């Protein structure tokens, strides 16, 4: 029995073509929105910064505080968790049960040095609020101009 060399197609060529096709569809269909072309990053996040702290607010409907993990690695804030939602309606003659499950993760670059010992997080009514106090060395100093 003779061995015949098999020429394999490089995976990177296929991945490159796949990426180009995805980019093409995003370009043409991206502005039409769901349900035709759905591309959303979840959870939606708002970030506010003042002179003392950075506040991150994330929409996490259906998530409990125990389902969410927050980690800080250098200048990266990671928010991850698992959404578990079940809704059951029993009315005259029928029963309707809806469930949705899924995990999520968002990594954010934090623009300033923070004090990791004073970070606070609170989850109320489906909104996660994380307060990241700035470290003393990251706070801006005001300099008075002399005339």
The structural domains of the chain, with segments of one domain joined by +, span 12-40, 42-138
Query: Are 29 and 36 in contact, with CB atoms under 8 Å apart?
Result: yes
pTM above 0.75, yes or no: no
Residue 121 has pLDDT above 50, yes or no: yes
Phi, psi for 39 (deg, rounded to 5):
-145, 100
The pLDDT tens digits for 42-90 are 788 999 988 889 999 999 887 888 889 999 988 889 999 987 777 888 8
Tally of CB atoms within 10 A around 94: 7
Distance CA 137, CA 132 (A): 14
Q: Which fold has domain 42-138?
A: Immunoglobulin-like (2.60.40)
End-to-end CA distance of the chain, in Å?
95
Residue 38 has pLDDT above 60, yes or no: no
Average pLDDT of the chain is: 80
Nearest alpha carbon to residue 64 among 46, 84, 47, 45? 84
């Amino acid at each position: 029995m003779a061995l015949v060399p098999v020429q394999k197609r490089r995976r990177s060529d296929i991945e490159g073509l796949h990426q180009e096709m995805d980019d093409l569809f995003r370009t043409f269909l991206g502005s039409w929105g769901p349900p035709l072309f759905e591309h959303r990053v979840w959870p939606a996040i708002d970030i506010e910064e003042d002179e003392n702290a950075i506040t991150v607010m994330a929409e996490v409907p259906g998530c409990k505080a125990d389902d969410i993990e927050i980690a800080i690695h250098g200048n990266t804030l990671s928010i991850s968790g698992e959404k578990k939602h079940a809704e059951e309606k029993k009315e005259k003659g029928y029963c309707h049960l809806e469930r949705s499950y899924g995990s999520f993760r968002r990594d954010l670059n934090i623009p300033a040095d923070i004090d990791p010992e004073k970070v606070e997080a609170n989850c109320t009514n489906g909104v996660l609020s994380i307060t990241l106090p700035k470290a003393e060395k990251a706070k801006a100093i005001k300099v008075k101009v002399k005339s």
